[in-house]
Amino acid sequence: MALILVAGLLGGCATSGNPKDSIEGFNRAMFAFNEGLDKAIVKPVATGYDNVLSSPVKTGVTNFFGNIADLFIGINNLLQGKVAAGFGDFGRLAVNSTIGILGVIDVASDIGLEKHEEDFGQTFGRWGVGSGSYVVVPFFGSRTVRDTAGLVLDVAVDPVSNHGHVPTRNTALALRIVSDRANLLPADKVIDEAALDKYSYVRDAYLQRRRSLIYDGNAPREAEPEADLADQQPLVAEAGSAQESVPAQAETVAVEPVVVAQQHLLQTE
Amino acid sequence: MKSLFVFIGGLVLATLVSAQEVAPDALIKSVSTDVLEIVRKDKDIRNGDSKKAAALVEVKVLPHFNFTHMTQLAMGREWRNASTAQKSVLIDEFRTLLVRTYSKALTEYKNQTIDYKPFVMRPGEAEVKVRTEIKQPSGGKPIQLDYYLEKTSSGWKVFDIEVGGISLVTNYRESFASEIRQGGIDGLIKSLQAKNKSGETAAVKK
């Protein structure tokens, strides 16, 4: 609620004219803040972590936190009506927590239980909730209004944040941040190479990524703006046929941390 | 010497591939396999030699891309407002930017493998999507990598690439539009040229 109020207040001073980013002035300031924090603290620590530890150890850490995350990934799949996927996630949790030694080894992927990527923001999107404007949240990065609401729930139920033993909890939270960031280090360079304006590059990648995730990787191509296509084959047919499978919220793209978007960008090519 | 041999070998292969009508999925597979094979063996590229990676991309990958169509997609409805001269500069600069990005990504290669998804083409189709997946050597969630191709008189050409659902081409649309709002199409051209220049100096510093 407060967020919407802030959005309204700041709307007046925004200049971009981009309907998906109505509070661009505020967002750019937050983006600069997050980047500054990253440059000063998070990235140097993650770089050190990346250089010091061996790959198997780093993979073990990633898997350990990934295993914990599978619990709510499964719950979100069930909330979205994807029952088989949800039970697949619980199967992963059971297999990896036991045979995989507390999740350190991802045995489940080897036996064909695929890792998924779900959160409450995606669930809301699946339910037809519109994405709302793009928002850069301090510390967390790119979101939309809907995904910010999802984030609040994600954090509220996060098993790591809710661990009762405070020193263990804090150590685990810090380790998870560092590990996640270290995984994204290669992406940084590619984004720096690609982006004309890093802010909008990251924003648009986030919005595309969330849209794709809501469709579980099968998003229809967005309609092409009418351009002079005389010398090209028309794209219209494809956009039209895709339309059928598009749920009502085609316009209301949503889903994932910038981090993930960056990761994908980076490892892509 | 060895790398020169590989380089020439790649050149011959690339010509062979484009010379005949190759199915889109077979094309993606053969180009990807060749490029990764070279990167795997080339220590310079894996240690961050972007120039060498760019040369590889230039020879092996570019012949299969339709940069006119890519630039058009990135420009969206602004495309028709550009003059012929502006269009050709835009295509050139955008091409440089994409090659640079692609080459940089190649230098980050760490033993990932590619999974090719089943591909079915209906007869007479002029536009197709070839799906692949990048598998991480350390496990973890695979990354979706999809290619969009169109049929042209000189064979199938790629006009868009999506990584994890993010189109590397249309991702520029908003930033291009905002450059154009601020400085017109010439303003966008200037920004692209400045960006590409800054990349060059950065490469030289290395």
Question: pLDDT value at position B66?
Answer: 95
Q: Residue A55: which of B104, B138, B144 has the nearest Cβ?
A: B138
Sheet arrangement for strand B166-167: B113-116, B127-135, B143-152, B155-163, B166-167
pLDDT of residue A234: 38
Asked if residue A175 is part of any domain, the answer here is: yes
Percent of chain A past pLDDT 90, that is, above it, reads: 67
Counted domains in chain A = 1
Going by pLDDT thresholds of 50, 70 and 90, the confidence category of residue A188 is confident
Confidence label for A229 from pLDDT (cuts 50, 70 and 90):
very low
Determine the Cα–Cα distance for residues B62 and B56; give it in Å rounded to an integer: 9
> Would A147 be classed as within a structural domain?
yes
List pLDDT tens digits, range B136-150: 776 667 889 999 999
Note the Cα B178 to chain centre separation in Å.
Answer: 24
pLDDT in tens, B105-159: 888 888 888 999 999 888 888 999 999 999 877 666 788 999 999 999 999 999 9
* A184, A205 contact by CB (below 8 A): no
With beta carbons under 8 A apart, name residues in chain A contacting B173: 204
Q: Would you state the structure tokens that stand for residue B154, as one six-digit string?
A: 């000189």
Domain B2-198 coded CATH 1.10.10.60: no
Does the pLDDT value for residue A186 go beyond 70? yes
Using DSSP's 3-state secondary structure scheme, residue A162 falls into: coil
Mark yes or no for CB contact A190/B166 under 8 Å.
Answer: no
What was the pLDDT predicted at B2? 57
Q: Does B196 touch chain A (CB under 8 A)?
A: no
**CA–CA dist B107, A88 (Å, integer):** 35
CA proximity to A258, closest of A160, A184, A186, A157: A184
Which of A29-33, A242-246, B125-129 shows the highest mean pLDDT? A29-33
Mean pLDDT of A254-268: 38
Helix (H) or strand (E) holding A134: strand A134-137
pLDDT at site A48: 97
Report the mean per-residue pLDDT for chain A.
82
Per-residue model confidence (pLDDT) at position A220? 85
Is A102 contained in some domain?
Answer: yes
Task: Give how far Cα A24 sits from Cα of A14, A17, A21, B67, B91, Å.
Answer: 6, 9, 6, 31, 29
Query: Which residue numbers in chain B have pLDDT < 70?
Result: 1-20, 138-140, 199-206
What residues of chain B, 93 to 132, have a C-beta less than 8 Å from chain A?
97, 100-102, 104-106, 108, 110, 112, 126-127
Q: List the single residue in A59, A189, A233 with the smallest CB-CB distance to B126.
A: A233
At residue A245, the pLDDT reads 36
A268 within some domain: no
Contact (CB<8Å) A219/B165: yes
A55 touching chain B per CB within 8 A:
yes
Q: Where are the domains of chain B?
A: 2-198
- Assessment of whether the complete model's pTM goes beyond 0.90: no
Residue A192 maps to a domain: yes
What pLDDT score does B112 carry? 87
> Mean pLDDT, to the nearest integer, of A187-212?
92
Q: Which range has highest mean pLDDT (A76-85, A185-194, B48-57, B108-117)?
A: A76-85
Q: For the residues A70-87, what does the mean pLDDT come to? A: 97
DSSP codes, B51-100: HHHHHHHHHHTGGGB-HHHHHHHHHGGGGGGS-HHHHHHHHHHHHHHHHH
Domain that holds residue A56: 2-262
Distance CA A120, CA B63 (A): 43
pLDDT surpassing 80 at residue A91: yes
How far lies A49's CA from each of A58, A67, A177, A179, in Å? Answer: 9, 21, 11, 8
- pLDDT level of residue A247 (50, 70, 90 thresholds): very low
In this predicted structure, what is the pLDDT of residue A209?
94
Contact call for A204 and B100, based on CB within 8 A: no
Highest-scoring range by mean pLDDT, A28-37, A179-188, B118-127 = A28-37
Query: Does residue A74 contact residue A87 with C-beta atoms inside 8 Å?
Result: yes
Pairing of strands A141-144, B155-163: unpaired
The reported pLDDT for the residue numbered B47 is 86
The predicted pLDDT at position A12 comes to 44
Average pLDDT over residues A6-30: 72
Residue A250 predicted with pLDDT over 60: no
In the predicted model, what is the mean pLDDT of residues A197-214?
A: 94
- What pLDDT sits at residue B181? 93
In angstroms, the CA A189 to CA A186 distance is 6
Q: Rounded mean pLDDT of A152-173?
A: 95
User: How far apart are the C-alpha atoms of A134 and A130, rounded to whole Å?
Assistant: 12
Chain B contact present for A63, CB below 8 A: yes
How much is the average pLDDT of A85-104? 96
- pLDDT score, position B86: 96
Residue A255, pLDDT > 80, answer: no
Q: Is position A267 within any domain?
A: no
- Looking at chain A from residue 125 to 164, which residues have their Cβ under 8 Å from any Cβ of chain B? none
Average pLDDT (A48-61) is 93
- A19 close to B (CB below 8 A): no
Confidence of residue A233 (pLDDT cuts 50, 70, 90): very low
